[in-house]
Amino acid sequence: MATFKPIIFKERQREDKTWTVFIRFTHERKMRYIATTMYVGKKEITSSGKIKSQHILDRCEELIRMFREKISGLFLEVNQMDIDSIVQYMKTPTDKSGIDFVEFARKWCIRNNELKGIRNYMSALNSFCTFFGRDSIMCGEVTARKMKEYEEWLSGKPRAQSLYTSAIVRLFNEARNYYNDEDNGKATRL
């Protein structure tokens, strides 16, 4: 039976004196930790490191509910899947109504392979996928806030921080230019 629990790793305090909130997923006595975009400060945890902020706990419960709904769609197949496959399945977005940014960006890189530094774009895209923890990212998920988090995630690599973020922005702008047709009244919001 799969179980979920919101946790932090007290020993992994960030430079800004906060901790990343993780969802601990347990299946068949194996555990995996799914990073969230939520952070807690010292006032939001107990001295033993448990999350006490009701706002954060409510958001975690909503995320856990979504994970449970996805797993329930697997029915008995979940018993034959290894834990890493289940985690990957849970992280994959179910809403395919948007535009897949990664798919567009990979095709754009292939079409423009003569550009100088095209390998940097591919490296940036791979890094961005690693940051998200999946290979499918909808354009609607590429927000200014998410880009700021990505930039912070790259903080230990100053060159990558500059190069990769600018490459992702360029790829996003290419997607926006490709899909938006404002002259004909088609303004797809990315």
Q: Name the least confident of 17-26, 48-57, 75-84, 122-131.
A: 75-84
For the cut 70, the answer to whether the pLDDT of residue 96 exceeds it is no
Percent of all residues in the chain with a pLDDT value above 70, rounded to a whole number: 89
Q: Is the pLDDT of residue 185 over 70?
A: no
CA distance to 33, 65, 137, per residue, from 140 (Å): 25, 22, 8
Can you tell me the distance from the alpha carbon of 139 to that of 190, in angstroms, rounded to the nearest whole number? 5
- Answer yes or no: is pLDDT of 172 > 90: yes
In the predicted structure, residue 160 carries a pLDDT above the cut 50 = yes
Q: How far is residue 59's CA from residue 164's CA, in Å, rounded to a whole number?
A: 30
Q: Which residues contact 178 (CB under 8 A, 6 or more apart)?
A: 104, 108
Residue-level pLDDT at 177: 86
The band of 109, judged by pLDDT with boundaries at 50, 70 and 90, is very high
Asked if residue 164 has pLDDT above 90, the reply is yes
Q: Is the pLDDT of residue 181 over 80?
A: no
> Cα Rg for the chain, rounded, in angstroms?
19
Dihedral of CA atoms 119, 125, 127, 129 in degrees, nearest 10, equals -150
Banded model confidence at residue 1, pLDDT cuts 50, 70, 90? low
Q: Give the tokens for residue 168.
A: 């992702």
Token pair of 27, please? 């299946």
Task: Provide the pLDDT for residue 76.
Answer: 65
| pTM > 0.85: yes or no | no
Q: Give residue 132's pLDDT band: very low, low, confident or very high (50, 70, 90).
A: confident
Q: Give the mean pLDDT of the chain.
A: 85
